Amino acid sequence: INWYPGHMKKTKESMKRSLPLIDIIYEVLDARVPISSKNPDVDNIIGNKPRLIILNKADLSNEIANKEWERFFLNKGIPTIFVNSLTGSGLNQIVNKSNTLIKDKMNKLKDKGIKNRPIRAMILGVPNVGKSTLINNLSGRKGAKTGNKPGVTKGNQWIKIKGNLELLDTPGILWPKLDNEELALNLAFTGAIKDELLDIEDLAFKLLEKLIKLCPVLIEKRYNIIVRNHSTYEIMESIAMNRGCILKGGEIDYTRISNTIIDDFRKGRIGKITLELP
């Protein structure tokens, strides 16, 4: 993640320049942490432009939680789709939903005699939510670039995707809010913050603490242990023993077991887990 204030200002400005060319915004969030991966300024930046929220990495999130988030955003008047950008699963809804959302605008254009104009979309999201993966999947290998068009910010290209949709090839990068510890931790758990910047043992301990509260049964199943009436320390020790993460002197290898737990969570091996609910 690039945190330089100068860089942040520049991307925000280029995003604002592109905005007038855009009919619909695709705001990409991580389905496991829809609030932590959301930039709170985005609502101000895009104003009342039509928006579809794309909850990505839904292959890793909990299906019941997905339903709750769908309802939450719909109550705010924003439709959502849940997708897996790696496989493209769920992405077939994008054309229909987009057409519905910008029907009024297209009808107005038709009244002015403008027909068959492509719908132009831009992807926005914080780092690591899967913006590039999504763009690659939507454009496909053959993804034809439609070339620079008058009025388009220099360097930006439109990629033809399904239906009459065109996507700006460079996504808008927003920055997450890191001043709230819980939200920052959620981003760290999901891998959105570089691990080198973090104390891996501390992170694994906090993740385990959270998972024990959220989904004790999944932890018990994955590591073949009993969670009830045990402290997080004891549980971590049991997991390490079961996994043979023991150093020569018989001490627990905390670094190794920490990496195992974090990796298991990120790859979905513990289960489909959503870390926050509306």
Interface residues toward ligand GTP, by CB under 6 A:
56-57, 59-60, 84-86, 125, 127-133, 173
Residue closest to ligand GTP, measured at CB = 130
CB count within 10 Å of CB 221 equals: 12
Please identify, using beta-carbon distances, which residue of 57 and 120 lies nearer to ligand GTP: 57
Q: Is the dihedral of CA 42, 48, 49, 55 positive or negative?
A: positive
To ligand GTP, the closest distance from the beta carbon of 183 in angstroms equals 17
To ligand GTP, the closest distance from the beta carbon of 58 in angstroms equals 7
With H, G, I as helix, E, B as strand and everything else as coil, classify residue 270: coil
Please identify, using beta-carbon distances, which residue of 50 and 130 lies nearer to ligand GTP: 130
To ligand GTP, the closest distance from the beta carbon of 26 in angstroms equals 12
Closest by CA to 135, choosing from 178, 165, 155, is 165
Please identify, using beta-carbon distances, which residue of 220 and 276 lies nearer to ligand GTP: 276
Give the C-alpha separation, 259 to 254, whole Å. Answer: 8
Please identify, using beta-carbon distances, which residue of 187 and 245 lies nearer to ligand GTP: 187
Backbone angles phi, psi at 211, to 5 degrees: -65, -35
To ligand GTP, the closest distance from the beta carbon of 21 in angstroms equals 21
Please identify, using beta-carbon distances, which residue of 245 and 270 lies nearer to ligand GTP: 270
Give the C-alpha separation, 243 to 249, whole Å. Answer: 16
To ligand GTP, the closest distance from the beta carbon of 195 in angstroms equals 13
Task: Specify the long-range contacts of residues 103-110, CB closer than 8 Å, at least 24 apart.
Answer: 105/23, 105/50
